[in-house]
Each structure stands twice: as structure tokens, then as C-alpha cells.
Amino acid sequence: MRAPNFGGYKLDEVIGGGMYTKIYRASSSLARPIYGHTVAIKLLYLKGTPREHGKLISQFEREAEIAIGLNHPNIVKVHNFGKYNNQYAIIMEYVHGNNLKEILYKKDKLPLDILVRILYEAGQGLAHIHNNNIVHKDVKPDNILVSADFNTVKMTDFGIAKLPKRLWQKDIFPKGGTVTKYGTISYVAPEQTEGKADFRSDIYSFGVTIDEVITAKLETPDNPEKNMDDYFKRIDVRSYRKNIGKQLILCNDFIIPHGLKDIIKKATNRESLLRYSSMEELLRDLNQFS
């Protein structure tokens, strides 16, 4: 049953969530609500044993503590967190739109300049995360929110993030990351699968994201029929060919600037030291195509 009120906000519709959480759009009827009239509220739903409850609460609070310290136009702002009406909640900025994965699933396609701008802005958010000595560890289209007019792009979800400068704090999610069930796209860098994630691991995941976004969503003006391809038709064969080593990147056969393909290849190199050394370096190259 929904708790009726969280810091002056009432829950509306569910807009996201995971195994242990649900994210609601929430609104306030106050004349001057502290965080604006509409926010997103993430609720923790405890399952399992009391010992497991403790771990889930610690993870939830850790996520909020990491995010609340970040302030950047390309990162979802966490306003507050705590226990409201006996339920753990994070109150955060509401973005009117969808996550990028949901946008990829839609059949309508977009021109390259819009796609690159979306990716560039997401990359700026990731660069800020790295500049605060945080490894996100779960960079993927699902964790990039985009407004309906494509003018607002924000990174989100610090559920498995790592703080590399705090040597005394054990990484409680040593591997993390995501392999999708569709098209077998893995965003996880080789070293991250061994529990050794660092900034370059996020760069790898971001490179895979660039590749997927262009492959799934690029408009092809010279062949309108291809603009009606669904996500799976665009991705499945290409991901299979990539996974068996027949092509380096998903968008290998797309007519796009070679420099853009080179960015993806460098970012997703299996050897960490051969990737970009920082997100700023990658963004300088990507900016040429925005």
C-alpha cells in the first residue's frame, strides 16, 4: 500500500524501478513546494530476511549519499533522502521524458546530429561523475534520461557506483554492469568482469552505448524503408557478428564519419590502456560531430 505523503509530496504513477525499488512521479499541492511541484521519488521495498534488509538499506542510503553530492545539469539531482512514513525514499529531480533505452525501442529514427548531441551531454554528466572520483559502473542507455523534446539529458542511478579514492571502503559491488537479454549487448568492460572497474571501464560502457544508439536510432534519408526497422532488426545480426569477432563495432556498416567509428573503437578497446584516458578526451573528439 502506498504511503500517502513523502516530505509534502504525494505519489502518482510508477515511472521506473527495479527488483527492490519503484520510482514514482510525485506532486505537491503547496503554493511553494521546497523541490518544485513535481519530483521523482524512489522507494525501497524490503524483501528477504532481516539481515538482507540491512544490506538493502545500506545500499540504498549509499546510492543517495553519492548522488546528493553531485550538482551538474547532466546529472539527475537528488534533493533529499530518508525514512518517510516508515518507508525509505529518495526524493529527486523529475525529468519529463523517457530513458534512452525506451527511446531506442521506438521505431521513429533521428538524425546523427541529434543523437550525437544527446550522447555528448550524457558524456558531460559522466565526466563530472569521474571528476568527483566516482566510477558509475552501470553506464548504459537505461540510465540516461532524455526529455520529450530531447533538450534535457541526464545521467542517473548510482546503485552500484564505486568511490575509488576511499581505499578503506570495500567495493560492495565488485563486478556489476549489465548484459542485455536482447541482442546480447554487454556494456561491461573486460576488467570490470574481474572486479577491477575504474574510470576507463565507464568509458568502455559509454563507447558501447554510443555504438548501440547510432545503430538502433540513426535516420537513413537515402533509404526510408530502413527507418521503419525496429530495434531488434537493427541490433540482433550486428551484435551476433560482433560477438563472434566478424566486426569490431555494431555500426560498422553504417554510413557515418570514419572519425565517429574510430571514437567507438578506441573507447571499446578490450585493452584498458588503449582506450581514452579520460571522458574529457573522448568528448573533445565527439564534439567534432555534434
Q: Which CATH architecture has domain 97-289?
A: Orthogonal Bundle (1.10)
CB 26 within 8 A of CB 13: no
Query: Per-residue pLDDT for 1 more than 80?
Result: no
**Neighbouring C-alpha atoms within 13 Å toward the C-beta of 195:** 5
Higher pLDDT, 29 or 170: 29
| Beta-carbon count within 10 A of 27 CB | 17
Integer Cα distance of 17 and 97 in angstroms = 15
Please give the positions annotated as active site.
138
Q: For the chain, give every domain's residue range.
A: 10-93, 97-289
CB 217 within 8 A of CB 109: yes
Per-residue pLDDT tens digits for 15-54: 988 888 999 999 998 889 999 999 999 999 988 888 888 8
Is residue 181 very low, low, confident or very high in pLDDT (cuts 50, 70, 90)?
A: low
**10-93 carries CATH number 3.30.200.20:** yes
> For position 178, what pLDDT does the model report?
67
Query: Per-residue pLDDT for 182 more than 50?
Result: yes
Integer Cα distance of 258 and 56 in angstroms = 45
Query: Per-residue pLDDT for 257 more than 70?
Result: yes
Q: Largest Cα–Cα distance in the chain?
A: 60
Question: 0.85 cut: is pTM over it?
Answer: yes
Query: Per-residue pLDDT for 262 more than 80?
Result: yes
> For position 290, what pLDDT does the model report?
77
> For position 236, what pLDDT does the model report?
93
Query: Per-residue pLDDT for 167 more than 50?
Result: no
> For position 4, what pLDDT does the model report?
59
Q: How far apart are the first and last CA of the chain?
A: 46
Element (H, E) at 133: none
To the nearest whole percent, how much of the chain has pLDDT over 70? Answer: 92
To the nearest whole percent, how much of the chain has pLDDT over 90? Answer: 73
